Every structure is written in C-alpha cells, then in structure tokens.
Amino acid sequence: MQPTHAHAASHQSQQSHSHHHIVPFKVNMAVGITLLVLTAVTVWIAQFDFGAMNMIVAMTVATVKAGLVVAYFMHLRYDNRFFLTMLLVCLIALTVFIVFTMIDQKSRTSIYDYEMQEIRKNAKMYEKKGLTAPKDATPAKH
C-alpha cells in the first residue's frame, strides 16, 4: 500500500471520531448507584462476625466496587486491551509482593524461637531469648 493511501485511510477514520467511546448516561448513573449500594452493603455486613472470613468478604465487595470503577468510570472496558494487560501485570506483581510477605509472616515462628515483642525505648538486640549481653554493653532502660 502506498503511504498516501494509508494517510487518506487514517484521516477518514479520524474524521468519523469512532475512537471516542462515549459511555451512556444511564450506564454512568447505574454504576454510581451500584457503588453507593455496595458501600451500604460493606457497612451493613461489617456488623456480623464471620471470623477469618470478615476480611475476605470485605475485600470481595471492595474488589467488585474497584472493578466497576476501572471498567466503566476509567473506560477500561472500552479502551485498548493493552491497558488492561498492564494493570493485571501490576496487580499480579502486587499480589506476589503481599502473598510472599505473608508467607514469611505466618511461618516465621516455626523457624525462629522468638516472636515480635512490645517496642521499648533503647531495646537491645541481645535481649532476645537465648542471647547474652556483651561485656561492654550498657543496660537497656525499661
């Protein structure tokens, strides 16, 4: 194809403005109202104690809300798919970051025989279980 043809084709498509997807008013309002309803659901559901499920339930509702904002308000549903791919790569990286930190957090006590203690001013590392103070150490103030 000649470059001139390509140019002609490109500004024909540009004149039609087909690349600007306009989200209908009704869709915008529906998403807004759904977000407000889901906020009420989050508050209402927090009264009940599901134990360990509390966090999972609240995060699920929050993620549904976030999904609506990203898809409709931020136009990701209508935009170039590459943006969605970028977002997913970022979220996967974040998930790896948090999950691996939590694996460490949850399994630490099975490796070391001491647990996190209350923070005190001038606390010394050797005060941890099984360590003795070096000879020249000044005693820690409690």
Q: Which is nearer to other proteins, 106 or 141 (CB)?
A: 106
CB of 51 to other proteins, least distance (A): 11
C-beta separation of 91 from 76 below 8 A = no
CB of 133 to other proteins, least distance (A): 24
What is the spatial distance between Cα 6 and Cα 69, in angstroms, rounded to a whole number? 37
What is the spatial distance between Cα 23 and Cα 33, in angstroms, rounded to a whole number? 15
C-beta separation of 94 from 100 below 8 A = no
C-beta separation of 9 from 2 below 8 A = no
What is the spatial distance between Cα 77 and Cα 47, in angstroms, rounded to a whole number? 34
Q: Is 20 in a helix, a strand, or coil?
A: coil
Q: Which is nearer to other proteins, 69 or 137 (CB)?
A: 69
Please choose, out of 101-109, 123-131, 134-142, the segment that lies near other proteins by the rule CB under 8 A: 101-109
Tell me which amino acid residue 103 is: I
Q: Which is nearer to other proteins, 104 or 137 (CB)?
A: 104
The size of the interface with other proteins (CB under 8 A), counted in residues, is: 52
* Interface ranges with other proteins (CB under 8 A): 10-11, 13-14, 17, 19-20, 22-23, 25, 28-29, 31-32, 35-36, 39, 42-43, 46, 54-55, 58-59, 61-62, 65-66, 69-70, 72-74, 79-80, 82-83, 86-87, 90-91, 93-94, 97-98, 101-102, 105-106, 116, 118-119
